[in-house]
Structure 1
Amino acid sequence: MPPEEALHEGTWLQWPHNYGYDRKHIQRYEATWIHMARELSQGENVHIIAYDGEEKRRITAILENDASTNMRRVDFLIGKTDDVWVRDNGPIFVRDVQEHQLVVQNWLFNGWGKKADYHLCNEIPKLVGTNLNLPVIDVAMVNEGGSIELDGRGTLMAKKSSILNKNRNPGWTQANVEAYFHHYLGVTNFIWLDGVKGQDITDDHIDGTARFVNNGTTIVTVNPYDSLSRKEYNCLKNAQDADGKNYTIVHLPLTSRKLRRLRDWGTYINFYVANEVVLVPKYEDKNDRAAQEIIIEKLYPERRVVGVDALELAIDGGMIHCVTQQQPI
Structure 2
Amino acid sequence: MENLTPRALGFRMPAEWAPHAATWTAWPYDEEKWLGYLEPVRQEFAAFVNTLARFEPVHLVLHDEESERDARQRLAGPITFHRIPHDDLWLRDSGAIFVTRTPPSGPVEVAAVNWEFNGWGGKYPAQQDNQMPLQMARILGMGLFEAGIVMEGGSLEVNGQGVGLTTRQCLLSPARNPGLDEEALEGYLQQFLGIEHLIWLGNGLEGDHTDGHIDTLTRFASPYTIVTAVCPDPDDPNHRPLQENLEILRSLGGFRIVELPLPKNPLWLDSETRLPLTYANFYIANGAVLVPIYGDPHDEQALEILRPLFPGREVIGLQSRYLITGGGSFHCVTQQQPAGAIWPGQTR
TM-score, structure 2 normalization: 0.85
Q: Which amino acid aligns with 2:14?
A: P
**Tell me, what secondary structure is at the counterpart of 1:228?**
helix
How far off is 1:121 after superposition?
A: 0.8
What are structure 2's unaligned runs of at least 5 residues? 1-12, 234-238, 340-348
2:208 to 200, 212, 215: 200
CA offsets, 1:199-250, max 9 Å, x none? Answer: 5210111111100112x1101012473643233211111125xxxxx20011
Corresponding residue for residue 41 of structure 1: 53
Following the alignment from structure 1 to structure 2, what is the Cα–Cα distance between the partners of residues 20 and 127? 25
Higher relative contact order (CA 8 A, sep 6+): 2
Residue 308 of structure 1 corresponds to which residue in structure 2? Answer: 318
Counterparts of 1:201 and 1:238 in 2: how far apart (Å)?
Answer: 28
- Residue deviations 1:92-116, cap 9 Å, x none? 1112567963111110000000000
Give the one of 104, 107, 115 matched to 2:112.
104
230-239 vs 53-62, which moves further: 53-62
Structure 2 Cα separation of the partners of residues 176 and 113 of structure 1: 18
Change (3 A) 1:19 1:117: farther
Whether 1:142 aligns to 2:154 is: no
Q: How many residues align?
A: 315
User: Is the alpha carbon distance of 1:190 and 1:257 closer, same or farther for their aligned partners in structure 2, counting shifts above 3 Å?
Assistant: same
Q: For the Cα contact (< 8 Å) 2:292–2:319, is it kept in 1? A: yes
Q: Does 1:58 align with 2:78?
A: no
User: Match for 1:56: what amino acid?
Assistant: E
Secondary structure of the residue that 2:115 maps to in structure 1?
A: strand
Partner of residue 282, structure 1 = 293
User: What is the alpha-carbon distance in structure 2 between the residues aligned to residue 199 and residue 228 of structure 1?
Assistant: 15
- 3-state secondary structure, aligned to 1:2: coil
Whole-angstrom CA distance in 2 between matches of 1:168 and 1:125:
18
Query: Do 2:204 and 2:213's aligned partners in 1 also have CA atoms closer than 8 Å?
Result: no
Superposed, which structure 2 residues align to 1:1-329 within 5 Å?
1-18=13-30, 21-22=33-34, 24=36, 26-63=38-75, 69-70=76-77, 73-96=78-101, 101-195=109-203, 200-214=208-222, 216-223=223-230, 225=232, 227-229=239-241, 230-240=243-253, 246-261=254-269, 263=274, 266-297=277-308, 299-329=309-339
Q: CA deviation at 1:46?
A: 0.7
Report the 3-state secondary structure (helix = DSSP H, G, I; strand = E; otherwise coil) of the residue aligned with 1:32.
Answer: helix
Instruction: Give the conservation status (yes or no) of the 8 Å contact 1:16–1:25.
Output: no
Q: What CA distance in whole angstroms lies between the structure 1 residues aligned with 2:66 and 2:129?
A: 19
**Cα distance in 1 for residues equivalent to 2:82 and 2:110:** 19
Amino acid at match of 1:84: L
How far the C-alpha of 1:266 sits from its partner, in A, is: 2.5
Aligned to 1:66: none
The separation in 1 between residues aligned to 2:174 and 2:47, in whole angstroms, is 38
Q: Which amino acid aligns with 1:161?
A: Q
Aligned equivalents of 1:286, 1:300: Cα separation in 2: 22
Q: Cα offset for 1:198?
A: 8.3
8 A Cα contact 1:20 1:82, kept in partner? no
Structure 1 unmatched ranges of 5 or more: 64-68, 241-245
Letter of the 1:4 counterpart: E
| AA matched with 1:30 | R
Rounded Cα–Cα distance in structure 1 between residues aligned with 2:291 and 2:47: 12
Contact 1:39 1:277 in 2 (8 A): no
TM-score by length of 1: 0.89
- Give me the CA root mean square deviation: 2.1
- Residue type at the aligned position of 1:218: T
Tell me the distance in 2 between the aligned counterparts of 1:196 and 1:273: 21
Q: How many angstroms apart in 2 are the aligned matches of 1:208 and 1:127? A: 27
Question: Conserved in 2, the CA contact under 8 Å of 1:257 and 1:265?
Answer: no
Q: Once structures 1 and 2 are overlaid, which stretch shifts more, 305-314 or 52-61? A: 52-61
- Shift of the 36–198 alpha-carbon distance from structure 1 to 2, 3 Å rule, reads closer
Partner of 1:243: none
Q: 1:19 to 1:79 in 2, by over 3 A?
A: farther
Matched AA of 1:136: L
Deviation of the 1:80 alpha carbon: 0.8
